[in-house]
A = this chain, B = another copy of it.
Amino acid sequence: MNGRHSGRPTLEEVAVRAGVGRGTVSRVINGSPRVSDRAKAAVEAAIAELGYVPNRAARALAGNRTDAIALVIPEPETRLFAEPYFSDIIRGIGAELADTDMQLLLTFIRTPKERARFGQYLAAHRVDGVLLVSVHEDDPLPDLLEQLEMPAVLNGRRSDLESVSYVDADNVGGARAAVAHLFARGRRTVATITGPPDMYVARCRLDGYRQAVEAAGSAGASSELVARGDFTEEGGRRAMRELLVRRPDIDAVFAASDLMAAGARQVLRESGRQVPSDVALVGFEDSAIARHMDPALTSVRQPTEEMGRTMARVLLEEIAERASVRRHVVLTTELVQRDSV
Protein backbone atom coordinates (compact mmCIF):
# COMPACT_ATOMS: atom_id res chain seq x y z
CA MET A 1 0.00 0.00 0.00
CA ASN A 2 1.26 3.37 -0.97
CA GLY A 3 0.97 6.22 1.46
CA ARG A 4 -2.05 7.44 -0.44
CA HIS A 5 -3.50 10.49 1.07
CA SER A 6 -0.74 11.75 3.28
CA GLY A 7 -3.18 13.55 5.54
CA ARG A 8 -2.49 17.09 4.55
CA PRO A 9 -5.25 19.09 2.95
CA THR A 10 -5.62 19.34 -0.80
CA LEU A 11 -6.91 22.07 -2.97
CA GLU A 12 -10.15 20.20 -3.26
CA GLU A 13 -10.73 20.22 0.47
CA VAL A 14 -10.08 23.92 0.53
CA ALA A 15 -12.67 24.37 -2.20
CA VAL A 16 -15.28 22.45 -0.26
CA ARG A 17 -14.52 24.31 2.94
CA ALA A 18 -14.78 27.65 1.17
CA GLY A 19 -17.89 26.61 -0.71
CA VAL A 20 -16.37 27.27 -4.12
CA GLY A 21 -15.00 25.26 -7.01
CA ARG A 22 -11.42 24.06 -7.36
CA GLY A 23 -10.77 26.42 -10.18
CA THR A 24 -11.52 29.38 -7.98
CA VAL A 25 -9.15 28.20 -5.31
CA SER A 26 -6.48 27.76 -7.90
CA ARG A 27 -7.07 31.28 -9.16
CA VAL A 28 -6.78 32.73 -5.70
CA ILE A 29 -3.56 30.88 -5.04
CA ASN A 30 -2.07 32.05 -8.27
CA GLY A 31 -3.19 35.61 -7.78
CA SER A 32 -5.53 35.80 -10.71
CA PRO A 33 -7.47 39.09 -10.79
CA ARG A 34 -10.61 37.38 -12.09
CA VAL A 35 -11.93 36.49 -8.67
CA SER A 36 -14.56 38.30 -6.59
CA ASP A 37 -13.38 39.71 -3.30
CA ARG A 38 -16.00 37.66 -1.59
CA ALA A 39 -14.77 34.37 -3.00
CA LYS A 40 -11.19 35.37 -2.43
CA ALA A 41 -11.79 36.05 1.23
CA ALA A 42 -13.60 32.76 1.70
CA VAL A 43 -10.79 30.85 0.07
CA GLU A 44 -8.11 32.59 2.06
CA ALA A 45 -9.95 31.85 5.26
CA ALA A 46 -10.28 28.19 4.34
CA ILE A 47 -6.59 28.00 3.46
CA ALA A 48 -5.64 29.46 6.80
CA GLU A 49 -7.96 27.23 8.77
CA LEU A 50 -6.82 24.08 7.05
CA GLY A 51 -3.18 25.06 6.94
CA TYR A 52 -3.19 24.26 3.28
CA VAL A 53 0.07 24.26 1.37
CA PRO A 54 0.02 23.50 -2.35
CA ASN A 55 1.72 20.37 -3.56
CA ARG A 56 4.67 21.33 -5.69
CA ALA A 57 4.81 18.12 -7.61
CA ALA A 58 1.20 18.32 -8.69
CA ARG A 59 1.59 21.92 -9.62
CA ALA A 60 4.73 21.23 -11.58
CA LEU A 61 3.13 18.35 -13.40
CA ALA A 62 0.01 20.22 -14.37
CA GLY A 63 1.71 23.49 -15.08
CA ASN A 64 4.61 22.02 -17.00
CA ARG A 65 7.25 23.81 -14.99
CA THR A 66 9.31 23.04 -11.93
CA ASP A 67 9.59 26.21 -9.87
CA ALA A 68 13.21 25.40 -9.38
CA ILE A 69 16.42 26.83 -10.77
CA ALA A 70 19.83 25.23 -10.78
CA LEU A 71 23.09 26.79 -9.74
CA VAL A 72 25.79 25.00 -11.67
CA ILE A 73 29.17 24.76 -10.07
CA PRO A 74 32.05 23.43 -12.11
CA GLU A 75 34.06 21.61 -9.51
CA PRO A 76 37.59 22.45 -10.60
CA GLU A 77 36.77 26.06 -9.92
CA THR A 78 35.39 25.80 -6.45
CA ARG A 79 38.82 25.22 -5.06
CA LEU A 80 40.20 28.34 -6.63
CA PHE A 81 37.33 30.76 -6.53
CA ALA A 82 36.21 28.87 -3.56
CA GLU A 83 35.52 30.17 -0.25
CA PRO A 84 33.94 33.53 0.24
CA TYR A 85 33.32 34.17 -3.42
CA PHE A 86 31.32 31.02 -3.71
CA SER A 87 29.36 31.42 -0.53
CA ASP A 88 28.73 35.12 -1.14
CA ILE A 89 27.22 34.33 -4.51
CA ILE A 90 25.03 31.66 -3.00
CA ARG A 91 24.02 33.93 -0.19
CA GLY A 92 22.97 36.58 -2.66
CA ILE A 93 20.96 34.16 -4.72
CA GLY A 94 19.31 32.80 -1.62
CA ALA A 95 18.37 36.26 -0.46
CA GLU A 96 16.73 37.08 -3.76
CA LEU A 97 14.85 33.81 -3.86
CA ALA A 98 13.66 34.01 -0.27
CA ASP A 99 10.38 35.68 -1.10
CA THR A 100 9.80 33.53 -4.08
CA ASP A 101 8.50 30.02 -4.32
CA MET A 102 11.48 29.17 -6.44
CA GLN A 103 13.80 26.51 -5.13
CA LEU A 104 17.54 26.63 -5.51
CA LEU A 105 19.16 23.41 -6.65
CA LEU A 106 22.88 22.87 -6.41
CA THR A 107 24.51 20.99 -9.22
CA PHE A 108 28.17 20.14 -9.27
CA ILE A 109 29.88 19.24 -12.47
CA ARG A 110 33.11 17.42 -11.86
CA THR A 111 33.55 15.08 -14.76
CA PRO A 112 32.67 14.92 -18.45
CA LYS A 113 30.22 12.22 -17.52
CA GLU A 114 28.46 14.54 -15.13
CA ARG A 115 28.47 17.23 -17.73
CA ALA A 116 26.69 14.91 -20.13
CA ARG A 117 24.23 13.98 -17.47
CA PHE A 118 23.50 17.61 -16.83
CA GLY A 119 22.72 18.01 -20.52
CA GLN A 120 20.02 15.37 -20.19
CA TYR A 121 18.89 17.03 -17.05
CA LEU A 122 18.31 20.25 -18.93
CA ALA A 123 16.67 18.52 -21.86
CA ALA A 124 14.31 16.90 -19.40
CA HIS A 125 13.26 20.34 -18.21
CA ARG A 126 13.95 19.56 -14.64
CA VAL A 127 14.55 23.21 -13.88
CA ASP A 128 13.04 26.44 -15.11
CA GLY A 129 16.35 28.21 -15.40
CA VAL A 130 20.07 27.96 -14.85
CA LEU A 131 22.69 30.04 -13.10
CA LEU A 132 26.28 29.45 -14.16
CA VAL A 133 29.40 30.59 -12.35
CA SER A 134 33.00 30.76 -13.56
CA VAL A 135 32.31 30.06 -17.19
CA HIS A 136 35.27 29.33 -19.41
CA GLU A 137 35.59 30.52 -22.94
CA ASP A 138 35.30 27.02 -24.33
CA ASP A 139 32.45 25.98 -22.10
CA PRO A 140 29.77 24.32 -24.24
CA LEU A 141 27.08 24.75 -21.61
CA PRO A 142 26.01 28.31 -22.44
CA ASP A 143 25.46 27.37 -26.08
CA LEU A 144 23.52 24.30 -25.08
CA LEU A 145 21.37 26.44 -22.83
CA GLU A 146 20.72 28.88 -25.63
CA GLN A 147 19.86 26.17 -28.06
CA LEU A 148 17.44 24.66 -25.59
CA GLU A 149 15.97 28.13 -25.06
CA MET A 150 16.46 27.61 -21.36
CA PRO A 151 16.59 30.84 -19.37
CA ALA A 152 20.12 31.26 -18.08
CA VAL A 153 22.38 33.82 -16.49
CA LEU A 154 26.14 33.68 -16.30
CA ASN A 155 28.37 35.20 -13.70
CA GLY A 156 31.01 36.76 -15.87
CA ARG A 157 31.06 36.36 -19.61
CA ARG A 158 32.96 34.41 -22.18
CA SER A 159 33.84 37.41 -24.32
CA ASP A 160 32.82 40.86 -25.42
CA LEU A 161 30.07 39.42 -27.55
CA GLU A 162 28.46 37.27 -24.93
CA SER A 163 24.99 36.42 -26.15
CA VAL A 164 23.64 34.78 -23.03
CA SER A 165 22.47 37.00 -20.18
CA TYR A 166 25.17 37.76 -17.68
CA VAL A 167 26.07 39.67 -14.57
CA ASP A 168 29.65 40.74 -14.33
CA ALA A 169 31.87 43.04 -12.34
CA ASP A 170 33.52 46.03 -13.92
CA ASN A 171 36.91 44.44 -14.19
CA VAL A 172 38.37 47.02 -16.52
CA GLY A 173 37.28 49.90 -14.34
CA GLY A 174 38.44 48.20 -11.18
CA ALA A 175 41.87 47.47 -12.52
CA ARG A 176 42.18 50.98 -13.90
CA ALA A 177 41.27 52.49 -10.56
CA ALA A 178 43.74 50.30 -8.74
CA VAL A 179 46.62 51.20 -10.99
CA ALA A 180 45.65 54.87 -11.08
CA HIS A 181 45.74 54.78 -7.30
CA LEU A 182 49.30 53.57 -7.40
CA PHE A 183 50.36 56.32 -9.79
CA ALA A 184 48.52 58.89 -7.74
CA ARG A 185 50.53 57.80 -4.76
CA GLY A 186 53.70 58.57 -6.59
CA ARG A 187 54.67 55.16 -7.83
CA ARG A 188 56.41 55.25 -11.19
CA THR A 189 57.21 51.73 -12.22
CA VAL A 190 54.02 49.75 -11.90
CA ALA A 191 54.07 46.12 -12.99
CA THR A 192 51.17 43.72 -13.28
CA ILE A 193 50.65 40.03 -12.81
CA THR A 194 47.92 38.84 -15.12
CA GLY A 195 45.58 35.88 -15.20
CA PRO A 196 45.46 33.30 -17.99
CA PRO A 197 45.00 35.15 -21.32
CA ASP A 198 42.26 32.77 -22.38
CA MET A 199 40.04 34.05 -19.63
CA TYR A 200 38.06 37.13 -20.47
CA VAL A 201 38.22 38.42 -16.93
CA ALA A 202 42.00 38.31 -17.07
CA ARG A 203 42.10 40.25 -20.32
CA CYS A 204 39.77 42.88 -18.88
CA ARG A 205 41.98 43.44 -15.90
CA LEU A 206 45.00 43.73 -18.11
CA ASP A 207 43.15 46.26 -20.24
CA GLY A 208 42.37 48.30 -17.17
CA TYR A 209 46.02 48.24 -16.20
CA ARG A 210 47.06 49.41 -19.65
CA GLN A 211 44.52 52.20 -19.71
CA ALA A 212 45.78 53.52 -16.40
CA VAL A 213 49.38 53.29 -17.49
CA GLU A 214 48.63 55.26 -20.63
CA ALA A 215 46.58 57.80 -18.75
CA ALA A 216 49.49 58.32 -16.40
CA GLY A 217 51.55 59.19 -19.42
CA SER A 218 54.09 56.74 -18.22
CA ALA A 219 56.76 55.28 -20.46
CA GLY A 220 53.95 53.16 -21.84
CA ALA A 221 53.03 49.66 -20.97
CA SER A 222 56.38 48.06 -21.31
CA SER A 223 55.89 44.37 -21.85
CA GLU A 224 58.67 43.88 -19.38
CA LEU A 225 56.28 44.99 -16.69
CA VAL A 226 53.65 42.40 -17.52
CA ALA A 227 54.05 38.91 -16.12
CA ARG A 228 51.65 36.12 -16.63
CA GLY A 229 50.12 34.26 -13.72
CA ASP A 230 47.24 31.86 -13.49
CA PHE A 231 45.21 33.30 -10.61
CA THR A 232 46.87 30.96 -8.11
CA GLU A 233 49.21 31.78 -5.28
CA GLU A 234 52.01 29.76 -6.77
CA GLY A 235 51.48 31.49 -10.10
CA GLY A 236 51.79 34.81 -8.30
CA ARG A 237 55.11 33.78 -6.79
CA ARG A 238 56.51 32.69 -10.12
CA ALA A 239 55.41 35.85 -11.86
CA MET A 240 56.79 38.05 -9.11
CA ARG A 241 60.18 36.37 -9.33
CA GLU A 242 60.24 36.94 -13.08
CA LEU A 243 59.36 40.58 -12.64
CA LEU A 244 62.07 41.09 -10.06
CA VAL A 245 64.63 39.67 -12.45
CA ARG A 246 63.47 41.70 -15.42
CA ARG A 247 62.93 44.95 -13.59
CA PRO A 248 64.45 45.19 -10.13
CA ASP A 249 63.37 48.82 -10.06
CA ILE A 250 59.67 48.04 -9.76
CA ASP A 251 58.00 50.11 -7.06
CA ALA A 252 54.45 48.81 -7.39
CA VAL A 253 52.55 45.76 -8.56
CA PHE A 254 48.97 45.24 -9.54
CA ALA A 255 48.05 41.58 -9.23
CA ALA A 256 44.92 40.48 -11.05
CA SER A 257 43.79 38.29 -8.15
CA ASP A 258 44.24 38.29 -4.41
CA LEU A 259 45.76 34.86 -4.40
CA MET A 260 48.44 36.06 -6.80
CA ALA A 261 48.91 39.16 -4.70
CA ALA A 262 49.53 36.96 -1.70
CA GLY A 263 52.11 34.96 -3.62
CA ALA A 264 53.77 38.11 -4.87
CA ARG A 265 53.93 39.51 -1.38
CA GLN A 266 55.74 36.46 -0.12
CA VAL A 267 58.36 36.70 -2.83
CA LEU A 268 58.78 40.41 -2.25
CA ARG A 269 59.37 39.92 1.43
CA GLU A 270 61.77 37.07 0.85
CA SER A 271 63.69 39.30 -1.50
CA GLY A 272 64.07 41.75 1.34
CA ARG A 273 61.69 44.36 0.03
CA GLN A 274 59.22 46.02 2.29
CA VAL A 275 55.56 46.02 1.33
CA PRO A 276 54.27 48.60 0.74
CA SER A 277 57.09 51.03 1.45
CA ASP A 278 59.46 49.62 -1.17
CA VAL A 279 56.92 48.01 -3.42
CA ALA A 280 53.23 48.81 -3.18
CA LEU A 281 50.89 45.97 -3.90
CA VAL A 282 47.24 45.96 -4.96
CA GLY A 283 45.20 42.85 -5.52
CA PHE A 284 41.88 42.10 -7.09
CA GLU A 285 39.64 40.62 -4.48
CA ASP A 286 38.22 37.42 -5.89
CA SER A 287 38.24 35.10 -3.00
CA ALA A 288 38.47 37.64 -0.22
CA ILE A 289 41.32 35.62 1.10
CA ALA A 290 43.17 38.87 1.02
CA ARG A 291 41.16 39.92 4.04
CA HIS A 292 42.76 37.15 5.99
CA MET A 293 46.17 36.95 4.47
CA ASP A 294 47.06 40.51 4.95
CA PRO A 295 44.53 42.85 6.51
CA ALA A 296 46.53 45.75 5.18
CA LEU A 297 46.45 44.81 1.54
CA THR A 298 44.66 47.34 -0.60
CA SER A 299 42.43 45.69 -3.14
CA VAL A 300 39.66 45.99 -5.65
CA ARG A 301 36.55 44.52 -4.17
CA GLN A 302 33.77 42.98 -6.19
CA PRO A 303 30.21 43.15 -4.98
CA THR A 304 29.96 39.39 -4.89
CA GLU A 305 26.78 39.02 -2.93
CA GLU A 306 25.09 41.64 -5.05
CA MET A 307 26.15 39.76 -8.14
CA GLY A 308 24.38 36.73 -6.75
CA ARG A 309 21.24 38.70 -6.05
CA THR A 310 21.30 40.30 -9.45
CA MET A 311 21.81 36.99 -11.20
CA ALA A 312 18.78 35.56 -9.50
CA ARG A 313 16.68 38.62 -10.25
CA VAL A 314 17.63 38.63 -13.90
CA LEU A 315 16.92 34.94 -14.19
CA LEU A 316 13.51 35.27 -12.62
CA GLU A 317 12.65 38.03 -15.05
CA GLU A 318 13.81 35.96 -17.93
CA ILE A 319 11.69 33.04 -16.79
CA ALA A 320 8.65 35.23 -16.28
CA GLU A 321 8.62 36.81 -19.70
CA ARG A 322 8.71 34.00 -22.15
CA ALA A 323 10.42 36.23 -24.64
CA SER A 324 14.12 35.65 -24.75
CA VAL A 325 15.42 39.10 -23.98
CA ARG A 326 19.03 39.00 -22.95
CA ARG A 327 20.18 41.21 -20.14
CA HIS A 328 23.71 42.30 -19.52
CA VAL A 329 24.57 43.82 -16.18
CA VAL A 330 27.94 45.12 -15.12
CA LEU A 331 28.30 46.04 -11.48
CA THR A 332 30.90 48.49 -10.33
CA THR A 333 33.81 47.52 -8.17
CA GLU A 334 35.26 49.40 -5.26
CA LEU A 335 38.82 50.18 -4.36
CA VAL A 336 39.34 49.35 -0.73
CA GLN A 337 42.36 51.17 0.48
CA ARG A 338 43.91 49.49 3.46
CA ASP A 339 47.54 50.43 3.25
CA SER A 340 49.35 53.69 3.38
CA VAL A 341 50.96 53.58 0.00
Q: Which chain B positions have C-beta within 8 A of A84?
A: 82-83
Query: Of A3-11, A12-20, A177-185, A224-232, which stretch is located at the interface?
Result: A3-11
Contact with B along A83-104 (1 / 0, CB 8 A): 1101100110011001000011
Are B55 and A124 in contact, with the CB atoms below 8 A? Answer: yes
- Residues of A56-111 at the interface with B, using a CB-CB cut-off of 8 Å, are 56-58, 60-61, 63-64, 66, 68, 71, 73, 75, 78, 82-84, 86-87, 90-91, 94-95, 98, 103-106, 108, 110
Cα-based distance from A3 to B123 in the complex (angstroms): 15
Residues of B within 8 A of A125 (CB): 6, 8
**A8 and B123 contacting across the interface, CB-CB below 8 Å:** yes
Cβ B63 vs Cβ A61 within 8 A: no
- In the complex the two chains form, is A105's CB within 8 Å of B104's CB? yes
Cross-chain contact B114 with A64 (CB below 8 angstroms): no
* A38 at the binding interface (Cβ < 8 Å): no
- Considering the chains assembled together, what is the distance between the CA atoms of A275 and B125 in angstroms? 57
**Once bound together, how far apart are the Cα atoms of A124 and B47, in whole Å?**
13
Q: B residues within 8 A CB of A6?
A: 64, 125
Chain B residues contacting A106 (CB-CB under 8 Å) are: 71, 90, 94, 104-106
Q: Are B108 and A98 in contact (CB under 8 A)?
A: yes
Interface string of A168-191 (1 = CB under 8 A from B): 000000000000000000000000
State whether the Cβ of A293 lies closer than 8 Å to any Cβ in chain B.
yes
Residues of the B chain whose Cβ atoms lie less than 8 Å from the Cβ of A223: none
**Is there an interface contact between A82 and B87, defined as CB atoms closer than 8 Å?**
yes
Which residues 305-324 in A have Cβ within 8 Å of B in the complex? none
Within 8 A of B (CB), among A134-151: none
Does A289 lie at the interface of the complex (its beta carbon under 8 Å from any beta carbon of B)? Answer: yes
Complex-state Cα separation, A164 to B197, whole angstroms: 51
A66 to B78 Cα, complex, angstroms? 28
Once the chains are docked, how many angstroms separate the CA of A301 from the CA of B179?
39
> In the complex, are the beta carbons of B104 and A64 less than 8 A apart?
no
Among A64, A87, A126, A262, the most chain B Cβ lie within 10 Å of the Cβ of A87
- Assembly CA distance A61 to B58 (angstroms): 6
Assuming the contacts A78-B87, A104-B106, A105-B103, asked whether A60 and B63 have C-beta atoms less than 8 A apart, the reply is no
Known contacts A2-B63, A6-B64; A108 and B123 CB within 8 A of each other: no
Taken together as a complex, chains A and B put the C-alpha atoms of A77 and B108 apart, in Å, by: 23
A120 adjacent to chain B (CB < 8 Å): yes
Out of B56, B61, B78, B110, which one reaches A98, CB within 8 Å? B110
CB<8 Å pairs between A and B, sample of 17: A4-B64, A6-B125, A51-B120, A53-B120, A53-B123, A56-B57, A57-B61, A57-B66, A60-B60, A61-B61, A68-B103, A83-B83, A91-B108, A94-B108, A95-B110, A98-B114, A105-B106
